Amino acid sequence: MDYQKAYLVSNPVGPGSALFFDEELCIGCNICVNSCRSDVMMPNPEAGRPPIVVYPDECWFCGCCANACPREAVRMEHPMPMRATWKRKETGEFFRIGCINHPEPVTKPPVVD
């Protein structure tokens, strides 16, 4: 029986991609691969390299991989329609939940006109 080799390559990076790896920080520990709830990644066959995102369109955007990374080498970018922003009526300031420099919470009750 004659067997042929088959190679698994990642899907092309497109506008639906959410995961990005910093190749300088990633050591290829694959903790992110093991923590992924939807199995969109696989370990890279080259030791010390970032994982391969095989199914980018099946990502649930849960952030488990980014939270599990001990070196903070995984960056997640949500698609534009999924980015929730909030606006303060008083100041007109936009912010996102979980952003680094978010404004202080408003503790005064709302003013009814």
Least confident of 26-30, 36-40, 68-72, 81-85: 81-85
Please give the average per-residue pLDDT across 60-70, as a whole number. 91
Closest of 64, 65, 96 to residue 80, by C-alpha: 96
pLDDT digits (tens, 9 = 90+) for 25-37: 999 999 999 999 9
Per-residue pLDDT, 56: 84
Confidence check: pLDDT of 90 > 70: yes
Confidence check: pLDDT of 51 > 60: yes
Q: In angstroms, what CA-CA distances link 51 with 1, 5, 64, 74?
A: 33, 21, 15, 10
Which letter does DSSP use for residue 68 in this model? H
Q: Are 73 and 29 in contact (CB under 8 A)?
A: no
More confident residue, 88 or 100: 88
Backbone angles phi, psi at 33, to 5 degrees: -65, -45
More confident residue, 23 or 56: 23
More confident residue, 10 or 27: 27
